[in-house]
Chain A
Amino acid sequence: GENVEQHPSTLSVQEGDSAVIKCTYSDSASNYFPWYKQELGKGPQLIIDIRSNVGEKKDQRIAVTLNKTAKHFSLHITETQPEDSAVYFCAASTGSARQLTFGSGTQLTVLP
């Protein structure tokens, strides 16, 4: 089955700096890659997703890039703010989304 590895497990940045979280996947048939943000005491919330026919997608301060050849994708957050502090999860699926396989998560801390 699919295996998703996520790095780093923890990341601290100064407010205003950029943060990058990276994931690799094993199943070359995977074609859907969402990112979720989990705040303390809450369930994960979808923040952005990308499909295999697109190399990059942006939504305000958040962007995701995908390299299908290397089987890795990354989340980029620019101009970080304290409210960006949370656990971020990447995930991958083969499109039918019967099973969405998650990475192990990254605890992002934005220091004021």
Chain B
Amino acid sequence: EAQVTQNPRYLITVTGKKLTVTCSQNMNHEYMSWYRQDPGLGLRQIYYSMNVEVTDKGDVPEGYKVSRKEKRNFPLILESPSPNQTSLYFCASRKTIQGDYGYTFGSGTRLTVV
């Protein structure tokens, strides 16, 4: 089944303790992205990657890092999490062919930073 898999689904952590949220896709998509979803704010892009070793900032990159060493994986790293990073996070991917811009989203990771 074609899908984007995020882990973990739920995570509670303490301020300052480094964490990584993993994202993997099995569709051979070139493009991957991370979004955070907050009430009343919709989905805001954190980082995106056009292909392996190519990453760029989205609208809200502060406090986050990403890497794209393999095509299928795009982990999100919080080096020193803070309470304002408590949110619902989504990873998404798409194939970058002309005329096809549909995203496939993962099921989400609900992060709480206390």
A interface, CB within 8 angstroms of B: 1, 4, 6, 9, 32, 34, 36, 41-46, 49, 89, 91, 93, 95, 97-105
Tell me whether A44 and B105 are in contact in the complex, defined as CB-CB below 8 angstroms, given that A1-B59, A98-B50, A99-B48 are known contacts.
yes
A-facing residues in B21-36 (Cβ within 8 Å)? 31, 33, 35
CA distance A42 to B105 in the complex (A): 9
Which residues of the other chain, A, contact B92 by a CB distance below 8 angstroms? Answer: 43
Chain B interface, >50% SS class = strand
Q: From A97, which residue of chain B is reached at the shortest CB distance?
A: B101
A43 close to B48 (CB less than 8 A) = no
Other A-B pairs, 7, CB within 8 Å; known A6-B42, A42-B108, A100-B103: A34-B101, A43-B92, A43-B108, A44-B43, A49-B102, A97-B101, A102-B42
Q: Which of B41, B90, B94 contacts A97 (CB 8 A)?
A: B94
Q: How far is the CB of A83 from chain B (nearest CB, A)?
A: 19
Q: From B45, which residue of chain A is reached at the shortest CB distance?
A: A99
Which residues of the other chain, A, contact B45 by a CB distance below 8 angstroms? Answer: 99-101
Q: Which of A36, A89, A100 has the most CB of B within 10 A?
A: A100
B107 touches A (CB below 8 Å): yes
Q: Which 3 A-B pairs have the closest CB atoms?
A: A43-B105, A102-B43, A104-B42
B40 close to A49 (CB less than 8 A) = no
Which residues of the other chain, B, contact A44 by a CB distance below 8 angstroms? Answer: 43, 90, 103, 105
Q: Which of A6, A34, A105 has the most CB of B within 10 A?
A: A105
Residue interface bits B97-114, CB-to-A below 8 A is 1, else 0: 000011111111000000
B42 close to A89 (CB less than 8 A) = yes
Which residues of the other chain, B, contact A9 by a CB distance below 8 angstroms? Answer: 40
CA distance A49 to B48 in the complex (A): 21
Q: How far is the CB of A3 from chain B (nearest CB, A)?
A: 11
Which residues of the other chain, B, contact A41 by a CB distance below 8 angstroms? Answer: 107-108
A104 close to B103 (CB less than 8 A) = no
Q: From A43, which residue of chain B is reached at the shortest CB distance?
A: B105
Q: How far is the CB of A34 from chain B (nearest CB, A)?
A: 7
